[in-house]
Amino acid sequence: MKELGGKPEITRFKGLGEISPKEFAQFIGKEMRLSRVEYAPKVESGPIFTFYMGKNTPERKDYIMDKLVVPVEE
């Protein structure tokens, strides 16, 4: 905040569907961390999307927190 000076705006997006291409372009830079994303064939993708985008919020949150891996940089 000190480095930015003034009154910087802090914005939180729930998902990429809520961010415009112009806004997204502001986040792309050399410091951007990329994560590998694996894709399932169409036949298998239905249950995956239902799980991650369904109304099972507590179950999904527990699953994500149990599987979350955060690399530690030295």
Residue-level pLDDT, tens digit, the chain, 74 residues: 677 777 877 777 667 677 787 877 777 776 666 677 777 677 777 788 788 888 888 888 888 888 877 777 76
Report the alpha-carbon distance of residue 53 to residue 31 in Å, rounded.
29
* Dihedral sign from CA coordinates of 32, 33, 39, 44: negative
Indicate yes or no: pTM above 0.95. no
